[in-house]
Amino acid sequence: MKPMHDFQRLMAYVYGVFILLAAFALYLKTLAPTVSFFDSGELITAAVTFGVAHPPGYPLYVLLGWLFSHLPVGSAAYRVNLMSAVFAAFAALMAYGVTYLCLTEQEARAAGNSGKPDPARMLQPVLAMIAGLTFACSLTLWRQAVIAEVYTLNTFLCGLIMLLLLCWRRSQQRTIQHADAPLSPLAQRTTSPIERRWLLYLVAYLFGLGFGNHQTIILFSIPAAFLVLATAPRILRRPLPVLLIVLCFGLGLTIYGLIPLRAAAKPPMNWGHATTWRQFRWLVLREGYNDVPRGEALSTLWNDLLGRAPKPRAAEASGEFQPPPVWQSQERGLARMADIFVHSLFFRQLQTVSLFKQFGAVGVILLLIGLCYGIWKHPILTATMVIAVASFALIVIFIGDPPDENVFLVEEFHAPIYLLFAALIGIGMMGVASGFLWLAAAFGRFWQYGVVFGVSLILLMLPASLMLGNLNVVDSSRNYVAYDYASNMFVSLPRNAIVFTWGDSGAFPLWYLQFAEGMRPDVTVIHVPHLSLSWYREEMPAEFFLETPVAEDDVIEYVLQIVETQQQKRPIYFDYSSVHSLELPLPLLPNGVTYKVEMPGDVLDEEVWMRYQFRGILDHTRIAMDPDTERVMTIYGAAQIELGQYYMERGETEKAALAFNNAVKFDPSLGDEIVNELHLHNKLATEPAK
């Protein structure tokens, strides 16, 4: 009967290869062809130039991205995007492996396998495959798989760590099982727990190495420690293995040595200039984010529950009217407390773990079944996954504590726990299938084989429905919006210009075009928020600044100094976000999506819009939308409105009407603003002179 057992093992590997290839094909089909908004441009630039990314530096990601950037396919951005797709596909494979090892845990305890074609054993790799495909088609993983980001690599490493821990646990179970049996020397070597400790050392090394990609990986050490101690509690009595685990973790951390080495080489992307211990610590410990506003969600919730006077929120401090919460008019009691919780910022932060968005209602039901079935059949493994999910999600939310407007930034952090949720869904599938197999057993083995086929076919509808539902949401294969927006900005600028930018999505695509693709090296791109950082100012020419002392955080004064020292030498421009984020006492001339510091004799460039590209915006191409893409469409439209206002002030109504019509094409929601603008203009034009 051993050939049957070997065949089933072979099929388990075949299913794994299928998941890897299917997921990669899906991601490749929907992969972004070039740079995207947010961190994408900066991470690609750091990878291509082998530089240093934003805190904490991401040395592992940069190293791997640099290797991928040498592939002979597509643009530099496409190659780094491809890396995300590769690791996302391997993350789906890890979901399959974790699920399969959970479902076959009891076989490791069995004295042997009969080798008979058992329907339950036939289902194990199939259901694990469906769980892996479900994870592959989940929204967060798929969305991160098609752009340059660090989250798919982090998810893969977390999944690999969990897989290795399960392999180690299985080896321990087999060792304990055969402890009383006489073994040959070869069997003793293959089942000895000492020989399998290398898995723990590898896990420790991966924790350290993965810390060089995304530091949240360390949160998986909590469930890892639980699983190790639940499996081999006496390991703490052995100092040598513990010492080796610590040393292997430290060995993985040496990846951070790349940061000062590359910083000393002065690459174009050199965040923090971490060539000194002070700057290295500032970068790796993320000290630059200490002043980032926090939501104070837990303290606010606690004060609201106790009826204490809350601290004034930002909107209240600015004088904006905020209607009182509904719960303030309710009497004390459970209903009031529940209403306080549901309307709290902490609850909105918890909602970043969006199970229905990831797996749908059917997936959530199977997950709950898997939780119950897992506690019954696989208590230690289920407890490990519950601890992993709870500790990871809660600590990420607690440490991040984003304010309301930044809550969405935490969503991608949860990708590793969705892998474990997928494993629980697989266990839930097994629980449902086991029930049907039990019922079919009364009618004979043939009916059980029918159950295997029918259940597999029906459950495959879960990943299929997720794939169809998410395809239009994540398909970035024709998304050139970020690339075109950045290149349109460069098209707006004359030779040797200086342009001030504001915000990551404004600056990072420009950095990519300039440093990775070599576009417009004559232009000086200045990221205004960075002017508060001494290391950033030090890399700029000394002639940009006056000797007048300026407060570190007074970025406007630094901007004005640069304008004062350079406006007679070079043309100076601001992007849309800079103009509308800073109160600049400067005369500005509209210039497409930029604004020129007006000098005597300057005239409006009326043809700049004709030189722009708007792929995916005005050509009715269906692209995946995100907040930054929608914002760029609004920026295009708002810039057209301001151009129309410019024409209205000069009595050129036909040109103004054309600009207003163009604005609505970019963003139909701007129609009301245009109507109000025209109404105000007509009112002012008809008012009698006083």
pLDDT of amino acid 176: 54
**Average pLDDT for 673-685:** 54
pLDDT of amino acid 347: 84
Is residue 34 left, alpha or beta, with left meaning phi > 0 and alpha meaning psi from -120 to 50?
beta
pTM of the model: 0.90
How confident is the model over 513-531, as pLDDT tens digits? 999 999 999 999 999 999 9
Range from 24-28, 383-387, 505-509, 681-685 carrying the lowest mean pLDDT: 681-685
Smallest CA-to-CA distance from 251 within 219, 206, 216 is with 206
The answer to whether 659 and 644 have CB atoms below 8 angstroms apart is yes
Smallest CA-to-CA distance from 430 within 162, 166, 126, 132 is with 126
Range from 54-58, 349-353, 635-639 carrying the lowest mean pLDDT: 349-353
pLDDT band at 680 (very low <50, low <70, confident <90, very high): very low
How confident is the model over 534-577, as pLDDT tens digits? 899 988 888 888 887 788 778 899 999 999 999 999 999 999 99
How confident is the model over 462-516, as pLDDT tens digits? 999 999 999 999 999 999 999 999 999 999 999 999 999 998 888 999 999 999 9
pLDDT of amino acid 349: 83
> What SS3 state is found at 517?
coil
Q: Which residues contact 474 (CB under 8 A, 6 or more apart)?
A: 30, 139, 142, 143, 146, 624
SS3 for 186-232 is HHHHHHCHHHHHHHHHHHHHHHHHHHCCCHHHHHHHHHHHHHHHHHC
Smallest CA-to-CA distance from 60 within 35, 22, 87 is with 87
pLDDT > 70 fraction of the chain, expressed in percent and rounded: 88
SS3 for 71-138 is CCCCCHHHHHHHHHHHHHHHHHHHHHHHHHHHHCHHHHHCCCCCCCCCHHHHHHHHHHHHHHHHHHCC
Average pLDDT, the chain: 87
Tell me: pLDDT of 180 over 80. Answer: no
Residue 554 or residue 175, greater confidence: 554
DSSP line for 618-672: TS-------HHHHHHHHHHHHHHHHHHHHHHHTT-HHHHHHHHHHHHHH-GGGHH
pLDDT of amino acid 317: 47
* C-alpha to C-alpha distance for 19 and 95, rounded to whole angstroms: 10
pLDDT of amino acid 3: 62
pLDDT > 90 fraction of the chain, expressed in percent and rounded: 59
Smallest CA-to-CA distance from 660 within 682, 684, 638, 681 is with 638
pLDDT of amino acid 333: 65
* C-alpha to C-alpha distance for 357 and 364, rounded to whole angstroms: 10
pLDDT band at 332 (very low <50, low <70, confident <90, very high): low
How confident is the model over 413-442, as pLDDT tens digits? 999 999 999 999 999 999 999 888 888 777
pLDDT of amino acid 397: 87
Question: Domain map of the chain by residue range?
Answer: 7-178+190-261+351-443+450-474, 297-315+325-350, 481-686
pLDDT of amino acid 601: 87
The residue assigned the tokens 């009217």 is: 321
What does the buried/exposed string (b/e) look like for 638-671 if buried means 16 or more CB atoms within 10 Å of the residue's CB? bbbbbbbbbbbeeeeeebbeebbebbbebbeebe
Q: Which residues contact 353 (CB under 8 A, 6 or more apart)?
A: 393, 414, 417
Q: Which residues contact 263 (CB under 8 A, 6 or more apart)?
A: 52, 270, 272, 273, 274, 275, 279
Using alpha carbons, list the distances in angstroms from residue 539 to 530, 535, 553: 11, 7, 17
In DSSP terms, 500 is beta-bridged to 526, 574
Range from 214-223, 238-247, 317-326, 581-590 carrying the lowest mean pLDDT: 317-326
How confident is the model over 98-133, as pLDDT tens digits? 999 999 987 655 545 555 667 778 889 999 999 999
Note the helical H segments in 480-622. 481-492, 504-511, 534-538, 555-566, 576-581
Smallest CA-to-CA distance from 422 within 61, 21, 19 is with 19
Using alpha carbons, list the distances in angstroms from residue 425 to 279, 374, 391, 412: 45, 10, 19, 20
Using alpha carbons, list the distances in angstroms from residue 422 to 99, 130, 167, 361, 459: 8, 9, 19, 13, 13
* C-alpha to C-alpha distance for 252 and 200, rounded to whole angstroms: 13
Task: Evaluate the omega torsion of the peptide bond into residue 268 and state whether it is cis, within 30 degrees of 0.
Answer: no
**Average pLDDT for 355-382:** 95
Written as six digits, the tokens of 135 are: 């994870």
pLDDT of amino acid 109: 56
Using alpha carbons, list the distances in angstroms from residue 643 to 3, 111, 589, 636: 77, 80, 9, 11
pLDDT of amino acid 106: 74
pLDDT of amino acid 94: 98
CA 245 to chain centre: 29
> What SS3 state is found at 443?
helix
